[in-house]
Structure 1
Amino acid sequence: MVGQGGYSEVYKGNLSDGRTIAVKRLAKDNKSANKEKEFLMELGIIGHVCHPNTATLVGCCIENGLYLIFNFSQNGNLESALHGKRTKSLDWPVRYKIALGVARGLHYLHKCCKHRIIHRDIKASNVLLGPDYEPQIADFGLAKWLPNKWTHHAVIPIEGTFGYLAPEYFLNGIVDEKTDVFAFGVLLLEIITGRKPVDSSQQNLLLWAKPFMESGNITELIDPSLEDKYDSDQMHRLVLASAYCVRQSSAWRPSMSEVLELLTKGHDSEAAKNWRMPKCTSDSDELNDFSMFFGYHVPTDIDLEEFL
């Protein structure tokens, strides 16, 4: 076993032709009456996508359980690369490459598929890293089709990962492309800072980072393990894109097309000019709402690891 989630387990295996594979098995203790439907939904979505920055389905199996088979990622996932026990941290060119790759993958899901796909669970552990650290978006277990004539889904119950949930989704169950954009903004901050969305002391990454982003004090955000070895222009682009993506109001977040432009052109892009807004002050309604939303605490009746 190389990974485990709420509803599935992932195993490393080998095929007779020598290929190394990852086998995702629906957890046996999943008692949901809709588990077959959910399996077929994920199978339909992942079988529909085809992009260098999305996971590639190798096959499936319904004997003695429900299984999805993928190519195995030798470099693990982004979460282990950023937060795992490694002797060497990810250098800046690799981090920038991963940020761009995930953005391209999300742009593909939102804009280039025959049907719009909302992933709903963009996070570091769902970004696999190939042999050359090319990222692939994985785990479409929570993904939703969004018909062209629909502006959003209303989803109950709320599912996803604490720290990445957009306010409108967490509070009202509203799901659209901007749900993924918000989560991507948190992911960018994670890449920049090397910090988890919520750490062991319950500190929220967005609340910690927001004052530095607003003041322009970018150096305080940067992962100390980079030791000042980074491209300052690229760093500014990532911080700028993240700041736009994590805005509380979904209407003020850019699309992934605009995010890609921000990541490649920064302040000079049309997206930056179009989305520039007055800076929030500490007493502004948006910041107060933002702080209130992220001011919740870990419930005392459950284990911290279970909550995260």
Structure 2
Amino acid sequence: FFTDSELLKDVTKFSRQELEVACEDFSNIIGSSPDSLVYKGTMKGGPEIAVISLCIKEERWTGYLELYYQREVAELARLNHENIGKLLGYCRESTPFTRMLVFEYASNGTLYEHLHYGEGSQLYWTRRMRIILGIARGLKYLHTELDPPFTILELNSSAVYLTEDFSPKLVDFESWKSILSRSEKNSGSVGNNGAVCLLPNSVEKRHVDIHGNIHAFGILMLEIISGRPPFCKDKGSLIDWAKDYLELPEVMSYLLDPELKHFRYEDLKAICEVICLCIQPDSSKQPSMDEISLALESKIDTSVSIEFKSSSLAWAELALSS
């Protein structure tokens, strides 16, 4: 038997009642998918939280799902880095049937919302550079400082949450959006005390795809500097559009989001070089997150915000090249 005393013994357990109070009777919905709802709340005297609630009826909850849930909670609980969304705990009750995860809330919403629906002008150049560096640090931590390593199942601008001061936090919500489809291929039964009648190794290991994450980071950097989504109907694939500009210094500035009033050419050049390395088809030639992080940290300057320098050389260069 596998109860949460085994896998989850070091993870904070919340009661449904305290989360209900924190989330105003679960009225404050900030996200949804077929298999989950995300609520925003505030703990009494504590932090703002985002609560993912799995919307699955008890009769469809298999032993496989229970073990998957517990193992994923245990996996997320071991992540501890300033650029990774922090799992604060979980809620697991039988009446009413409840499976929830509680994360620290990042108050500025997702990077996707800011790039495509918000005030793009709030994301000035230096702020975008800090976001890229923060994401790189987070990925470097996940890939190289954890054993075993951890990868984000779907790394994109919707998986990047921004704090009040626009510091990025990577959150892996995707695994909960399709949790039911995972269980359809697997069966098992849940004992009457909620224990799982399954061997622990019958759930496949968490998928680790480092090359996939690095490729996705290349696309994400391109999205951040261009303000364009990875794919759109009228313009097609972002990579296909960008590849004509990425390697030619004289036209690199055509990649830039029109919302940007200033930029630093050295930063842009460094970013384009790294994007090309990340998105190349031959994954054996891909750099590691260690190398990527070092390349970005050494070449990107976020010490003085270029927006506040009165005469911008880069802006003059942009005017000349257009």
Relative to the length of structure 2, the TM-score reads 0.68
Q: CA offsets per residue over residues 220-273 of structure 1, 9 Å max, x none?
A: 10111102x112211211111111101111111110011112212349xxxxxx
CA distance in 2, matches of 1:61, 1:243: 43
Within the candidate set 43, 53, 56, 2:73 is matched to: 43
Extract structure 1 runs of 4+ deviating beyond 3 A: 29-34, 140-143
| Cα distance change, pair 222–141 in 1 and its aligned pair in 2 (3 A) | closer
1:15 aligns with 2:43: yes
What corresponds to 1:276 in structure 2? none
Which letter maps to 2:108?
N
Kept in 2: contact 1:78–1:127 (CA 8 A)? yes
The alignment yields a C-alpha RMSD, in angstroms, of 2.5
What corresponds to 2:257 in structure 1? 223
What corresponds to 2:296 in structure 1? 263
Within the candidate set 149, 160, 166, 1:127 is matched to: 160
1:139 aligns with 2:167: no
CA distance in 2, matches of 1:130, 1:240: 28
For structure 1, list consecutive stretches of 5 or more residues without a partner in the other structure: 144-154, 158-173, 268-308
Q: CA offsets per residue over residues 153-200 of structure 1, 9 Å max, x none?
A: xx9x9xxxxxxxxxxxxxxxx953111000000000000100000114
- How many residue pairs match? The answer is 238
Which has the greater radius of gyration? 2
Question: What is the DSSP-based 3-state SS (H/G/I as helix, E as strand, rest coil) of the residue aligned with 2:40?
Answer: strand
Which letter maps to 2:52?
K
CA distance in 1, matches of 2:234, 2:65: 35
- 1:202 offset after TM fit, Å? 6.2
What corresponds to 2:9 in structure 1? none
CA distance in 2, matches of 1:79, 1:92: 16
Kept in 2: contact 1:12–1:20 (CA 8 A)? yes
- 1:214 offset after TM fit, Å? 3.1
Within the candidate set 216, 219, 226, 1:183 is matched to: 216
- 1:18 offset after TM fit, Å? 4.9
1:102 aligns with 2:102: no
What corresponds to 1:59 in structure 2? 89
Identical counterparts, % of pairs: 32
For structure 2, list consecutive stretches of 5 or more residues without a partner in the other structure: 1-28, 177-181, 185-206, 301-322
Question: What is the DSSP-based 3-state SS (H/G/I as helix, E as strand, rest coil) of the residue aligned with 2:169?
Answer: strand
CA distance in 2, matches of 1:4, 1:242: 31
| Cα distance change, pair 87–215 in 1 and its aligned pair in 2 (3 A) | closer
**1:148-159 correspondence runs (5 A):** none
* Larger relative contact order (CA 8 Å, sep ≥ 6): 2
| Cα distance change, pair 202–99 in 1 and its aligned pair in 2 (3 A) | same
Kept in 2: contact 1:240–1:262 (CA 8 A)? no
CA distance in 1, matches of 2:277, 2:57: 40
Relative to the length of structure 1, the TM-score reads 0.71
